[in-house]
Amino acid sequence: MTVRIAPSILSADFARLGDEIAMCVEGGADWIHIDVMDGCFVPNLTYGAKVIETVRRLTTLPLDVHLMVVEPEKYFQDFVSAGADVLTIHQEAAPHLHRQLARIRELGARAGVALNPSTPVASLADVVDDIDLLLVMTVNPGFGGQRFIERSVEKIAQARALLDARGRRAAIEVDGGIARDTIARCWRAGADTFVAGNAVFAAADPRGEIGALRALCGEVA
Ligand code: DX5
Ligand code: ZN
């Protein structure tokens, strides 16, 4: 399994966004994670198509867009047009998950589903064949810099077991509190894609931190 590190620009300095993205590229980031929040599904507001389009102009790396919004389908077309490569929607915000995932793929993007800490992996049993990525939230979504929820490790293992049982190769992404002290446990449990906001952007050497996180997975591979 290949490790992917996806710095989340939620923790970036937006006054220097171009430099921050360049730092991610130089540090060897695989994807750029963009958190879209609507102040309704989560108690925080961030950004939308305009910022996706801006980041698209700054890098050729895949843009991993995490939609923490109600009625996510309203934004699919705009976000794909803006340059999103992966669109991940929340199971809790998508009553017609099967149709919504199909729509994302129809638009040419990779389709992801995210699970809040309280939502069981088994709730995705009927859409396993329709996803390219399964995102296990390792904090309650809404803010960067929160503490990793330990119970998530078992959930990652359940997600891996579900995909393996069905012979699927979808990515398993983890998001929230991923740092030097948590990443290896998630990797061992079966995650391969790691979102890191605070761990990268608040590090003394942000560029080096991307490689340091990746190396911690290598050690246990
Ligand atoms: C939280 C967001 C995350 C956030 C992670 O709701 O989905 O992507 O940026 O931040 P850290 O890595 O600081 O926990
Ligand atoms: Zn996120």
If you measure from the C-alpha of residue 123 to the centroid of ligand 1, how many angstroms do you get, rounded to a whole number? 23
Query: Is 200 within 8 Å of 7 (Cβ atoms)?
Result: yes
Query: Which bound ligand lies closest to the C-alpha atom of 152?
Result: 1
- Ion ligand 2 contact residues with beta carbon within 5 A: 35, 66, 175
How far is it between the farthest Cα atoms of the chain? 46
Q: b or e along 107-121 (b: 16 or more beta carbons within 10 Å of the residue's beta carbon)?
A: eebbbbbbbbeebeb
**How would you write the pLDDT of the chain (221 residues) with one tens digit per residue?**
899 999 999 999 999 999 999 999 999 999 999 999 999 999 999 999 999 999 999 999 999 999 999 999 999 999 999 999 999 999 999 999 999 999 999 999 999 999 999 999 999 999 999 999 999 999 999 999 999 999 999 999 999 999 999 999 999 999 999 999 999 999 999 999 999 999 999 999 999 999 999 999 985 54
pTM: 0.98
Residue 12 Cβ inside 6 Å of ligand 1? The answer reads no
Residue nearest to atom 6 of ligand 1 (CA): 141
Instruction: Using DSSP, state whether 89 is helix, strand or coil.
Output: strand
Ligand 1 atom nearest to CA at 177: 14
Ligand 1 atom nearest to CA at 10: 9
Q: Reply yes or no on whether 175 is catalytic.
A: yes
Ligand 1 atom nearest to CA at 138: 14
Whole-angstrom distance, CA of residue 176 vs CA of residue 195: 7
Whole-angstrom distance, CA of residue 28 vs CA of residue 42: 30
Residue 137 Cβ inside 6 Å of ligand 1? The answer reads no
Query: Is 115 within 8 Å of 137 (Cβ atoms)?
Result: yes
Residue 177 Cβ inside 6 Å of ligand 1? The answer reads yes
Residue 33 Cβ inside 6 Å of ligand 1? The answer reads yes
Q: Catalytic: which of 35, 38, 64, 192?
A: 35
